[in-house]
A = this chain, B = another copy of it.
Amino acid sequence: MDLNKLLKPRKMAVVGASEKPSTMGGDLLHNIKLWGRMEDVYMVNPKYDTIFGEKCYHSISDIPEDIDTVVICTSKKAVPGLLREAASKGCKGAVVYASGYGETRDEEGKRAQAELTALCHELDMALMGPNCGGFNNYIDRVCSFAFIIEDRNFRGNIGFVSQSGQLCQSLMENTTRFSYMMSVGNCSTVYVEDYMDFLVDDPDTKVVAVYVEGIKDPSKFISTLQKAARKRKPVVILKVGASEKASALASSHTGSMAGADKAFDAIAKKFGVIRVKDLEELHAISTVLSTLPELPAKPTFSAMAFSGGEGVVCADSAFYNGINFPDFESETRDALQAMLPYYATANNPLDMTFTMSYDSDVFAKALRTVMDDPNIGMCLLCFTILQKNIAPDVITMIEGIEKVARQGKAKPMAFVPLMENTRERALAERLAAVGVPILPPTHYAFSTLRHLADFIQYNADEKDLDLPVATKGQTVGAGTPVALTERVSKEKLGKYGMVRCVSL
């Protein structure tokens, strides 16, 4: 199946369109009108002749031209007929919000999902869902996400695929910027790994970020990771199911089988996948990879702090995460010492004292001195941006950073606060504009930098990227849902935790 018609439709139909708020059809239209390509959307509802003063069609068949994608806001019962009707208009993509399918614990739901899947294969229809929230394509202004979210500029380069709509909404309320944001639900027909493959190929996506409860097509998953590793496109995965409790819950959430956690870890290591433990970590590393103009040449860090206390806490947090602050070269030390008051010491981490914060030229000079040290790969600014009082220092620092960025040949930089720090969104956006992300508080900051360090040290050329995925008596990859089982993966895990072969 080709996902281009689903995710990049020229024309789209919304069935169940309405003016009513707090309905799927009403909230979706609200979103489309806000930022989507409304001119390429056909509204369909047998109850209305017009919606918001624009023509509403009574059926899909009434639409005067072919459509690429249909968004179905109705309940489960109407879905099969609507899919057939859409297919007759050349439609190859569908978004189905309705629930009551494979996520239920009864046979009826599972049968309904099997029938839906069979129908989609018959119609060659790439279906997102069921039991999903839809997607937003911020590159082409295609909106099919049915939940109301705040109005801000979301366009960026992170492609996010999620089996949870609530996780999408949580990221959208933060500062994350997306190329695509997809709430994909049960993945009856198109799997998480298919969306990932699309995003690895997509030139507008710099970072592929994923929340997944279960992989259904290991062969496609592996080939996607191979491709990403060879392209050096970062893949960040929050794959749950480390615990039995989570596995059980995932099964009743999207009907997924969480599979073997250790096998997943080994696969992540082999292909340089960044496996994160929660959503905050996914957000942080994705934002860093999305924001930095280029990655550090080596995983060594400098830290500059305005407050000794902040520097000390960061030094310990870095230590807990294996992040290394090498000593400065003697030339660097001498240059910094000349800028510091007599009582201060040019260590790394560096307690800058007040002398470096009152003038952006002085701060820029100090930052450039640290940055030019050959031992340093990336520069951290350990500072909690407070709203009151310290504002002049923050502005001085940001102006200094902008000056250094404008000079060119800047090494990567990031802010590390001790407490949550994105309330000042205008400052965060000003920093992002010169390629400087603000990280979450210290534990998350340094676990994120650990992921970054591991990613830049991963070299696909040194790895054997072959991983035969065998099955018992059948070839996987033709849409048969399977999971990496614990028993098999333990048998097949090679020494050093490397997966050599995964049977299913």
In the complex the two chains form, is B253's CB within 8 Å of A312's CB?
yes
Query: Which residue of chain B has the shortest Cβ distance to A343 in the bound complex?
Result: B104
In the complex the two chains form, is A319's CB within 8 Å of B245's CB?
yes
Query: A45-53, A169-177, A285-293: which one contacts chain B?
Result: A169-177
Contacts of A193 in B (CB 8 A): none
Contacts of A241 in B (CB 8 A): 312, 316
In the complex the two chains form, is A419's CB within 8 Å of B319's CB?
no
Interface residues of A in 130-163 (CB under 8 A from B): 147-150, 162-163
Q: Is A384 an interface residue (CB 8 A)?
A: yes
| Given A242-B319, A310-B166, A422-B420, CB of A441 within 8 Å of CB of B345 | no
Cβ proximity bits A390-406 to B, threshold 8 Å, 1 near / 0 not: 10000000000000000
Contact of A253 among B150, B211, B309, B423 (CB under 8 A): B309
Contact of A386 among B170, B320, B351, B390 (CB under 8 A): B170
| Given A254-B308, A310-B166, A312-B249, CB of A442 within 8 Å of CB of B278 | yes
Contacts of A318 in B (CB 8 A): 243, 245
Query: Which residue of chain B has the shortest Cβ distance to A163 in the bound complex?
Result: B309
Q: Is A114 an interface residue (CB 8 A)?
A: no
In the complex the two chains form, is A279's CB within 8 Å of B418's CB?
yes
Q: Is A407 an interface residue (CB 8 A)?
A: no
Query: Which residue of chain B has the shortest Cβ distance to A164 in the bound complex?
Result: B309
Contacts of A279 in B (CB 8 A): 313, 418-419, 441-442
Interface residues of A in 302-334 (CB under 8 A from B): 306-313, 315-320, 325
Task: Give this chain's copy count.
Answer: 2
Interface residues of A in 258-300 (CB under 8 A from B): 277-281, 283
Contacts of A488 in B (CB 8 A): none
In the complex the two chains form, is B280's CB within 8 Å of A443's CB?
yes
Q: How far is the CA of A456 from the CA of B95 in the complex (A)?
A: 49
Most buried by B among A162, A173, A309: A309
In the complex the two chains form, is A167's CB within 8 Å of B418's CB?
yes
Q: Is A252 an interface residue (CB 8 A)?
A: yes
In the complex the two chains form, is B423's CB within 8 Å of A312's CB?
no
Contacts of A280 in B (CB 8 A): 418-420, 441-443
User: 20 more A-B contacts (CB under 8 A) besides A173-B419, A246-B319?
Assistant: A100-B343, A104-B342, A147-B389, A150-B387, A163-B309, A166-B306, A167-B310, A170-B419, A174-B419, A174-B420, A240-B313, A243-B319, A245-B319, A245-B325, A245-B348, A250-B312, A252-B343, A252-B344, A280-B442, A420-B420
Q: Which 4 A-B pairs have the closest CB atoms?
A: A164-B309, A253-B308, A104-B343, A243-B319
